[in-house]
Amino acid sequence: MTKSESEQLTFTSIKGRQVRADFGGGEVSSDGGLLLMREVDRKLGLVANIAARLSEPRESGKVQHENETMLRQRVMALIAGWEDLNDAATLRTDPVHQVAAGSGEALASAPTLCRFENRQDRAAAWAVNQVLVEQFIASHVKAPAVLILDFDATDTPVHGKQEGRFFHGYYDCHCFLPLYVFCGDRLLTAYLRPSNIDAAKHAAAILKLLVTRLRRAWPRTKIVFRGDSGFCRDLLLSWCDRHDVKYVVGIARNDRLLAEAAKVLRQAEERYEKTKEKQRLFAAFDYAAGSWRSVRWVIAKAEHTDKGSNPRFLVTNIVGDAQKLYDRRYCQRGEMENRVKEQMMLFADRVSAHRWWPNQWRLCLSAIAYTLLEALRRLALGRTALAEATCATLRSKLIKIGAVIVRKLTIVRLHLSSHHPLRDLFHHARAVLVPP
Q: Let me know whether 95 and 112 are in one domain.
A: yes
Q: Let me know whether 50 and 141 are in one domain.
A: yes
Helices (H), 27-103: 34-44, 46-51, 67-79, 88-91, 95-101
Q: Let me know whether 93 and 183 are in one domain.
A: yes
- Of 171, 176, 229, 235, which is closest to residue 203 (Cα–Cα)? 235
Q: Let me know whether 374 and 357 are in one domain.
A: yes
Counted residue by residue, the chain has a size of 436
- Of 420, 103, 48, which is closest to residue 429 (Cα–Cα)? 420
**Is residue 191, in this structure, part of any structural domain at all?**
yes
Between CA 52 and CA 7 the distance in angstroms is: 47
**Is residue 376, in this structure, part of any structural domain at all?**
yes
Number of domains into which the chain is organized: 2
Helices (H), 119-242: 122-138, 203-217, 234-242
Q: Let me know whether 151 and 215 are in one domain.
A: yes
Q: Let me know whether 266 and 243 are in one domain.
A: no
**Is residue 428, in this structure, part of any structural domain at all?**
no
Q: Let me know whether 132 and 268 are in one domain.
A: no
Q: Let me know whether 159 and 189 are in one domain.
A: yes
pTM for this predicted structure: 0.93
**Is residue 401, in this structure, part of any structural domain at all?**
no
**Is residue 409, in this structure, part of any structural domain at all?**
no
**Is residue 416, in this structure, part of any structural domain at all?**
no
Q: Let me know whether 129 and 160 are in one domain.
A: yes
Q: Let me know whether 242 and 259 are in one domain.
A: no
* Full residue range of the structural domain in which residue 298 is found: 254-310
Boundary-marking domain end, from 390, 414, 429: 390
Q: Let me know whether 72 and 145 are in one domain.
A: yes
Phi/psi of residue 420, nearest 5 degrees:
-65, 125
Boundary-marking domain end, from 372, 390, 408: 390
pLDDT per residue rounded down to tens, the chain (436 residues): 455 555 889 898 999 899 888 887 778 899 999 999 999 999 999 999 999 999 999 888 888 999 999 999 999 999 999 998 989 988 999 989 999 999 878 999 999 999 999 999 999 999 999 999 999 999 999 999 999 999 999 999 999 999 999 999 999 999 999 999 999 999 999 999 999 999 899 999 999 999 999 999 999 999 999 999 999 999 999 999 999 999 999 999 999 999 999 999 999 999 999 999 999 999 999 999 999 999 999 999 999 999 999 999 999 999 999 999 999 999 988 888 899 999 999 999 999 999 999 999 999 999 999 999 999 999 999 999 999 999 999 999 999 999 988 888 788 888 998 889 999 999 999 999 998 7
Q: Let me know whether 289 and 375 are in one domain.
A: no
Work out the angle at residue 176's Cα, subtended by the Cα atoms of residues 87 and 132, and round it to the nearest 5 degrees: 70
Q: Pairing relation of β-strands 222-227 and 146-153?
A: parallel
User: Edge-to-edge, what's the strand order for the sheet holding 166-168?
Assistant: 156-157, 173-176, 166-168
